[in-house]
Amino acid sequence: MTDKQTASKPFRKPWLPMRLRKLIGLVAMLVLIVFYALLVMTVAVTTSVPDNKWIEFFFYLITGIAWVLPAGAIIYWMQRPDEEE
């Protein structure tokens, strides 16, 4: 867009400003990490992961990385710039 096109559009106040989205995202991230860690620990203890070191390694590798996907979605939502109309 050119400067003339952007200058003619008035700025629309966002429904959730970035500052509020960051606060909500922070709380959501903390809740996600705490509950995810408790879930992984519970699954690891109750399903009795085999004593094979390789299976344990891959279990903890996959579960240790899996929380990044929902966290990335939360961060993407938090960092969206305020929209102009």
pLDDT of residue 12: 60
pTM: 0.69
Instruction: In whole angstroms, give the CA distance from residue 25 to residue 46.
Output: 31
Q: What is the 3-state secondary structure (H, E, C) of 45-79?
A: HHCCCCCCHHHHHHHHHHHHHHCHHHHHHHHHHHH
The whole domain housing 52 covers 12-79
The one-digit pLDDT tens for each residue of the chain (85 residues) are 555 555 566 656 667 888 899 999 999 999 999 999 999 999 888 887 777 889 888 988 999 999 999 999 999 989 888 766 5
How many domains does the chain contain in total?
1
pLDDT of residue 8: 60
Would you say residue 5 lies in a domain? Answer: no
Would you say residue 7 lies in a domain? Answer: no
Instruction: In whole angstroms, give the CA distance from residue 36 to residue 63.
Output: 9
pLDDT of residue 45: 86
Instruction: In whole angstroms, give the CA distance from residue 33 to residue 36.
Output: 5
